[in-house]
Homo-oligomer: A and B are copies of this chain.
């Protein structure tokens, strides 16, 4: 197949990890006789520096015409410590999600057996955990109107949901549950929030259409607790933008490290694939970042945007093999990791490539 992939490294370790991700795409093309072409574009802090804009029009245009986007990360500490900055890297990310209609953010939490002991959670609690999050990505308090009073002493963000926004993501989650263990947990705060009550009404209204799926409603506070207490109870989870942001970061501890988690953002047009970790400026340029989340993002890209199941599975198998060989980046190493098995970003990438050769 001929496919055109846009690589958008963004900020911080984004450049390092997407470099490895792209190498994996190249290896897959060779192995499976595909013709992949590539382009690059700017977003976030690097885009602000170069163009004044966190999402330059050129980047957006390239995204629209690509078959898929391999994304790195955005963010810069400079803005975090300056709450009144007018232009912010994250605006680029949010605008991209909105402009491309990427309303469904899929975050699979799958624990590789070899990493069972690298989590802070007990292995016996974790073993067998396998969760697929559907985070709504273009609504909620992320995109509702923001206000700041003239004297700057009052600030607000509107948490808002429309029925159609809830319905389309909940349907996707129901469909996914059918291909898994037929369990769907919907997370909201319907005991306090009107937008959550709308959310719950929509889930309840759709439930009869999926009689084979067992539906459970949890409040976000209880869900955040249960996720640690009993991760195996979770199969497919569907929730809003803000609650999804929080729960999936928390859930990264089930997989041992944020450095292992990939995500797919899909919707009306081009799909975007990215690690759930951020730009991590504290380790940027040191060559120690874990590239496996980007590699696993490639696996999602191949599967979801290109329908290439075998190719996707080959990538996952390569990651599995590398972990079985005992290779680790710093974030997933433990006290027993031998010094010669502790690899940097690119050496880890080489190991994955060697299994794909």
Contact = CB atoms under 8 A, between A and B. Distances in A.
A290 interface: no
Interface string A77-119: 0011101100010100010000000000000000000000000
Interface of A: 75, 79-81, 83-84, 88, 90, 94, 120-122, 125, 141-142, 144, 146-148, 152-164, 189-198, 200-201, 204, 217, 220-222, 224-225, 227-230, 242-243, 245-250, 252-253, 258, 278
Determine which residue in A79, A120, A248, A252 has the highest number of CB atoms from chain B within 10 A of its CB, and name it: A120
B198 A148 contact: yes
29 contacts: A79-B191, A80-B190, A80-B217, A81-B217, A83-B196, A83-B201, A84-B197, A94-B192, A120-B125, A120-B229, A121-B121, A121-B228, A141-B141, A141-B159, A147-B194, A153-B164, A154-B162, A155-B194, A156-B159, A157-B158, A157-B159, A157-B193, A157-B194, A189-B242, A189-B245, A221-B246, A224-B224, A224-B246, A224-B250
Copies of this polypeptide in the complex: 2
A146 B227 CA distance: 29
A47 to B, nearest CB: 16
Contacts of A253: 225, 228-229
In this complex, the member of A221, A229, A249 whose beta carbon has the largest number of chain B beta carbons within 10 angstroms is A221
Contact of A120 (B79, B121, B198, B204): B121
A83 B155 contact: no
B195 A221 contact: no
A322 to B, nearest CB: 23
